[in-house]
């Protein structure tokens, strides 16, 4: 595959404006869809890579549908937390395009290692959005099979998953699964704050030295809880990659098309055996860090408003309207579907049973432990001692 070709089908090419470099006024930012919904045909990244994607109308509408659905389901989860049905929720509000763009760029054989915020990527992998809610409701700690879904469990300890992803990617190489169009690639998600962790820096070293088929996807949402980006770095994060010996690129993380393009390019490089790369998806956390957080303590409303103008969904909608790719019926139908799916999600969350208390003793060891067995027996006996009492 030619360098710079993100590997997208060219069916139904639509006439779009000529390419521009640095349309944002930020020569470092790869963008294919402006906040006003203007489409750029191609854009050249800082290392000379030309990014271009073209989609059928159906595919464009599909991106829009995903963005809306992902936002709606996220809002539903926030509401469920407010009503006491979830213990906590980490909202992706504002980061939909970074997640849908990169999530759609993954191929079936690719493996993803998320943080705790990648509900949009999960959705794009075709996974039931109920899956991570057990963790946030407090009924389990994830509990899914990462290999089945090609989607690792959520990782809350900041940065740890980047090493897991790198090791997995090393295994892909050892298995001889790179070097062709059908090669496998691995993507690790992490935040701007995470870039300060030793684990993340070590994973850069490992991936580089072992030429691992890795994409490091950093969603720079400008905050690590209350701490702004300046607390973690003095240079644009994507430029850190150069010091580790692999390419880095900053993409407009509120632009779903550019997010797709750069991720697809990086994944394809990785699957072809060309090693790791770092993507910095420049975006903004529109909501609180989690439902436990109060962002009014550390950031001003005008900053949030400025980012509101760069909303990832609004710009996609503007593009669809301007290009007459979608009409009011379509938008109404998407809203309807979003509503249906969120109601369905809510119903199922309310029905999630509490775990059987003695199940906490399950799966501590694959080969069992006499100590755990003994404690489970004592626990059961202890519970039985209350039976028939008023307790």
Ligand X SMILES: Cc1ncc(C[n+]2csc(CCOP(=O)(O)OP(=O)(O)O)c2C)c(N)n1
Considering the candidates 39, 52, 250, 289, report the single residue annotated as catalytic.
289
Query: Does 226 contact another protein by CB under 8 A?
Result: yes
289 is an active site residue? yes
Site for another protein in 267-306 (CB under 8 A): 292-293, 297-298
| Three-state DSSP state, 190 | strand
Residues 216, 204: contact at Cβ < 8 Å?
A: yes
Q: 208-227 mask for ligand X (x: CB under 6 A)? A: -------------x-xxx--
Query: Does 248 contact Mg ion by CB under 5 A?
Result: no
Region of 366 (left: φ > 0; alpha: ψ -120 to 50; beta: rest) is alpha
The number of residues making up the chain comes to: 391
Query: Does 285 contact ligand X by CB under 6 A?
Result: yes
Pick from 236, 266, 201: which is nearest to 7 by CA?
Answer: 266
Considering the candidates 39, 65, 104, 285, report the single residue annotated as catalytic.
285
Site for ligand X in 305-364 (CB under 6 A): none
Number of residues that bind another protein (CB under 8 A): 44
Task: Choose among ligand X, another protein, Mg ion, none what residue 117 binds, the Cβ cut-off being 5 to 8 Å by kind.
Answer: ligand X
Query: Does 194 contact ligand X by CB under 6 A?
Result: yes
State residue 158 phi and psi, 5-degree precision: -60, 125
Site for another protein in 113-152 (CB under 8 A): 134-141
Query: Does 35 contact Mg ion by CB under 5 A?
Result: no
Rounded Cα distance between 348 and 75, Å, is 16
14 is an active site residue? no
Q: Return the half-sphere exposure (C-beta side, CA atoms, 13 A cut-off) of residue 378.
A: 6
189 is an active site residue? no
Residues 215, 185: contact at Cβ < 8 Å?
A: yes
**The two structure tokens encoding residue 378:** 């004592």
Query: Does 224 contact another protein by CB under 8 A?
Result: yes
E-only strand ranges, the chain: 29-30, 42-44, 50-52, 111-113, 186-191, 214-220, 223-224, 227-228, 248-252, 277-282
Stretches 40-48, 49-57, 194-202, 209-217: which one binds another protein (CB under 8 A)?
Answer: 194-202
Site for ligand X in 146-175 (CB under 6 A): 156-158
Active site residues per annotation: 285, 289, 298
User: What are the residues binding ligand X (CB under 6 A)?
Assistant: 117, 156-158, 191-194, 221, 223-225, 285, 289
């Amino acid at each position: 595959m030619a360098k710079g070709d993100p590997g997208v089908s060219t069916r139904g090419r639509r006439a779009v404006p000529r390419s521009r470099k640095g349309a944002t006024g930020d020569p470092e930012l790869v963008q294919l869809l402006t906040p006003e919904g203007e489409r750029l045909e191609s854009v050249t990244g800082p290392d000379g890579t030309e990014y271009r994607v073209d989609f059928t109308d159906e595919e464009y509408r599909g991106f829009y549908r995903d963005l809306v659905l992902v936002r709606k389901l996220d809002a539903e989860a926030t509401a469920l937390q407010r009503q006491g049905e979830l213990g906590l929720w980490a909202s992706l509000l504002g980061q939909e395009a970074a997640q849908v763009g990169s999530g759609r760029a993954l191929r079936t054989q690719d493996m993803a290692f998320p943080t705790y915020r990648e509900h949009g990527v999960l959705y794009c992998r075709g996974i039931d959005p109920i899956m991570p809610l057990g963790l946030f409701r407090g009924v389990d700690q994830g509990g899914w099979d990462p290999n089945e879904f090609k989607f690792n469990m959520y990782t809350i300890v900041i940065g740890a998953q980047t090493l897991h992803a790198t090791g997995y990617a090393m295994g892909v190489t050892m298995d001889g699964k790179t070097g062709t169009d059908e090669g496998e690639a691995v993507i690790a998600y992490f935040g701007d704050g995470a870039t300060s962790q030793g684990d993340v820096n070590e994973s850069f070293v490992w991936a580089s030295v072992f030429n691992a088929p890795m994409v490091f996807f950093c969603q720079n949402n400008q905050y690590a809880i209350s701490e702004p980006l300046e607390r973690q770095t003095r240079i644009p994060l994507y430029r850190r990659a150069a010091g580790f010996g692999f390419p880095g690129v900053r993409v407009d993380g509120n632009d779903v098309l550019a997010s797709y393009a750069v991720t697809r390019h990086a994944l394809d490089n990785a699957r072809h055996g060309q090693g790791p790369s770092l993507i910095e998806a420049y975006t903004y956390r529109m909501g609180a860090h989690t439902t436990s957080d109060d962002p009014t303590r550390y950031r001003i409303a005008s900053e949030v408003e400025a980012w509101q103008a760069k909303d990832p969904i609004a710009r996609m909608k503007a593009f669809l309207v301007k290009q007459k790719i979608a009409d009011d019926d379509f938008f109404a139908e998407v809203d309807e579907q979003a509503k249906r799916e969120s109601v369905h999600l809510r119903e199922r969350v309310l029905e999630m049973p509490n775990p059987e208390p003695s199940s906490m003793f399950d799966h501590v060891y694959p080969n069992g432990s006499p100590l755990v067995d003994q404690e489970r027996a004592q626990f059961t006996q202890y519970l039985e001692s209350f039976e028939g009492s008023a307790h």
